Amino acid sequence: MRKQEYDELQSQLKELNLEVKKLTAEPTNDEIDEQITKLEAENETLSKKVNDLESKQKNAISEEDMKKIEVKVKEYQLEWKRRKRGCMDMVNAVSENMDKNRKDFMEDVGIETDEEFNVV
């Protein structure tokens, strides 16, 4: 009978050791209180940021103003394209009359293109 009692006690000891490991792996009450305090402070900071963003959103640009801005941007883009086309026409004409490659002429004169800077 002693062997059986010994085996039972060993089994209980293993179970108790597992429970102790499980309990020591969890944070203590003081650690949990610190975490709660830290999370509450973080929550307060984030709430202030949300409130600030929401109040700024009220002062955001109206749809009408946004449409006006989009129209202006399109106008500027069209003007940019028109000027670019005119400039490239002049570069082509001059480089043809000089019997030079357009790329070489632009390099000699120091003209940079949008494509060199990945501008579309």
Phi, psi dihedral angles at 112 (to 5 degrees): -105, 140
Tell me the helix, strand and coil percentages in the chain, rounded to 5.
85, 0, 15
Cα separation, 113 vs 117, in Å, equals 7
Q: What is the CA radius of gyration of the chain?
A: 37
Q: Write out the two tokens for 41.
A: 């402070």
pTM of the model: 0.47
Question: pLDDT tens digits, residue range 15-31?
Answer: 999 999 988 888 888 89
Reported as a single tens digit per residue, the pLDDT across 35-76 is 999 999 999 999 999 988 887 776 677 888 899 999 999 999
Domain limits of the chain? Answer: 1-60, 61-120
Six token digits for residue 111: 């003209």
Coil, helix or strand for 98? Answer: coil
